[in-house]
Amino acid sequence: MAHLIFEYSANLAADGDIPGLLRKANHVLIDSGLFPVGGIRSRALRLDEYCVADGDHDDAFVHATVKIGAGRSPQAVKDTANALFDMMKQHFAVQFDQRYLALSLELSEFPEAGTLKHNNIHKRYAKK
C-alpha cells in the first residue's frame, strides 16, 4: 500500500503539469520494488483558498502526504521519501526558478491493524 496526496496551490494549475506529477510519483514507487503496483494510488487536490506566508505575493506550494503500510526497513522508508522529494524538486524546477515556491513532503506508516483493504487490482499484476 502506498497512497500519495498532493495538495497544491491553484496558481500552479496552468504550468505545474499535475497529471505528469502523479504519473512520475507512481513510477518512483513502482521502480523502488517495495510496493505492489496494484496498491499504489496518487491524487492531487487543487486548493483555491490558501494563504502562503504574509499573503501579499503570488507564492505557490505543493505538499505531498505519503502513506505506506508498515513493515519496510527505516532505510527503505527514508529512501522512498528522498526519491519522491527529489522527483518533486525536478518536476517543479522551472517554477522554482521563476517564482516563489514551497515544496514539502511527509511520509507516514500505517500499522497493519489500522487499515482495511478490498482490492481486486492486484489480480491484474499477478498474471504478469
Per-residue pLDDT tens over the stretch 40-99: 999 999 999 999 999 999 999 999 999 998 889 999 999 999 999 999 999 999 999 999
Q: pTM value?
A: 0.90
Task: Please report the DSSP string for 92-116 in residue order.
Answer: THHHHHHS-EEEEEEEEEE-GGG--
31-46: pLDDT as tens digits: 999 999 999 999 999 9
Radius of gyration of the chain (CA): 16
At residue 125 the predicted structure's pLDDT band, cuts being 50, 70 and 90, is confident
C-alpha cell, 83: 526519491
Q: Measured between alpha carbons, how far is residue 84 from residues 26, 48, 59, 94, 124 in Å?
A: 9, 24, 22, 17, 25
Contact by Cβ (8 Å): 13, 58: no
pLDDT of 128 reads: 63
In words, the CATH class of domain 2-126 is: alpha beta
In the chain, where are the structural domains located?
2-126
